[in-house]
Amino acid sequence: MKPLIIALALVLALPAPASAGPRPPRDLRELAHQQGIKIGSAVNIAALRDEADYRKMLNHQFTHVTAENAMKWESVEPERGRYTWADADALVHNAHRNRQRVRGHTLVWHNQLPAWLTEGVADGSITPRELKGILRDHITTQVRRYKGKIRAWDVVNEVVEEDGSLRQSIWLTHLGPGYIADAFRWAHRADPHAKLYINDYNIEWNAPKIETTFSLVKDLKAQGVPIHGVGFQGHLGIQYDYPADWANVMRRFAGLGMEIAITELDVRMVLPVTPEKLATQAGYYRRALTDCLSVKACKEFTVWGFTDRHSWVPGWFDGEGAACLLDENLAPKPAYRALLGVRAR
Ligand code: G3I
């Protein structure tokens, strides 16, 4: 009996053979679980409704979703006081049925505001005092509706300009810079458990924008404002260098106690597509995930659409496109395979 026990003890003490480590992930959902991160995509609501292959891929691959447009102000309150929740509700419902967490996007932005609001402010029929009440009601109504169902909200989106000044918007002009702290406080009151984010682009590399955002977050924290996270949109292009300092920037914000997320990653290219460009693109996606995984506070890696069939890029950048992980037919591109190869945590 004794030799048997000794033999057993020896076997148990031996290092596990190399092949016993986690096997390579088969898809992004498995990668997300292995690496302890949420992997998400923006969702095109029309495609979610009408395209079975899109729906199947989204639900199979991703553990997190963001509404590309369905939760923006013009979508949820196209006429004053008349809310249209059908699209946003459908997205949240689909997410919960498929074990996906949700990022709410976005409560305060200068774009995609309903005409009744921008026109009312422009012609003076909405006074600054009234505007503050309108913003408070909008935030409170939307956050309350999804209380407990949204993991993280992009509370303020793109509030800093490229030169590091605060963005000129109806909010800054009519309410002053205090609207930012107010927005976080109102959102927190409506759902005390949601993570509340500031979200922006070009804070991966643009020094003036990074510095202002950093001071803003620091000041908000010092004032006791409930801000919990910084979202790096990550709209990249292979014709520009990869933002090599990105992980350090993430770490700086993490040092302020912030959770970090990559919220809108895509990597566009000047068309036509070539194998070389796809390889470069794959490297950018791989580096972005590696950077996120190298920072403990980075909890979410979200792409701004997963297929070139539905991407905002060709409509906005003339002659550019092919920015996503899958092509128009939902076939994986080298970038998709590159992500599956990332091992960091
Ligand atoms: O809703 C109208 C529809 O009624 C009309 O028929 C159609 C005709 O073009 O336009 C529709 O509106 C479009 C809307 O997307 C919804 O599809 C707008 O023209 C179009 O400009 C708008 O673009 C969105 C863009 O934000 C607007 O700023 C993109 O889809 C969306 O991907 C993009 O997302 C932003 C993030 O929210 C914030 N960060 C940057 C990111 C990329 O710009």
- Convert the pLDDT of each residue in 178-198 to its tens digit: 999 999 999 999 999 999 999
For residue 21, the model assigns a pLDDT of 65
Q: How far apart are CA 217 and CA 321, in angstroms?
A: 33
Catalytic, out of 68, 77, 259, 264:
264
Long-range contacts of range 48-53, CB-CB < 8 Å, 24 or more positions apart?
Answer: 48/90, 48/91, 48/94, 49/90, 53/330
Beta bridge partners of 235: 266
pTM for the model: 0.94
Task: Tell whether the model's pLDDT for residue 3 goes beyond 60.
Answer: no
Task: Tell whether the model's pLDDT for residue 335 goes beyond 90.
Answer: yes
CA-based radius of gyration for the chain: 22
Q: Which residues line ligand 1 (CB under 6 A)?
A: 68-69, 111-112, 157, 233, 264, 312
Is residue 29 within 8 A of residue 39, CB to CB? The reply is yes
Q: 69: CA distance to ligand 1 center in Å?
A: 6
Q: How far apart are CA 132 and CA 323, in angstroms?
A: 38
Q: Which of 77, 112, 118 to mutate to test the pocket of ligand 1 (most atoms within 8 A of CB)?
A: 112
For residue 245, the model assigns a pLDDT of 98
For residue 344, the model assigns a pLDDT of 84
For residue 20, the model assigns a pLDDT of 54
Beta bridge partners of 254: none
pLDDT band at 10 (very low <50, low <70, confident <90, very high): very low
> If you average pLDDT over residues 278-299, what whole number do you get?
98
Picking from 302, 225, 228, the residue whose alpha carbon sits closest to that of residue 262 is 302
- Is 79 a residue of the active site? no
**Backbone φ, ψ for residue 225 (5° rounding):** -75, 135
The beta strand positions in the chain, using DSSP E, are: 38-43, 64-67, 101-108, 152-157, 195-200, 229-232, 235-237, 259-270, 298-303, 320-321
Is residue 70 within 8 A of residue 108, CB to CB? The reply is no
Which one-letter amino acid corresponds to residue 56? K
Q: Which of 41, 48, 68 to mutate to test the pocket of ligand 1 (most atoms within 8 A of CB)?
A: 68
- Is 158 a residue of the active site? yes
Task: Tell whether the model's pLDDT for residue 108 goes beyond 90.
Answer: yes
Catalytic, out of 68, 77, 158, 259:
158
Picking from 133, 135, 132, 184, the residue whose alpha carbon sits closest to that of residue 156 is 184
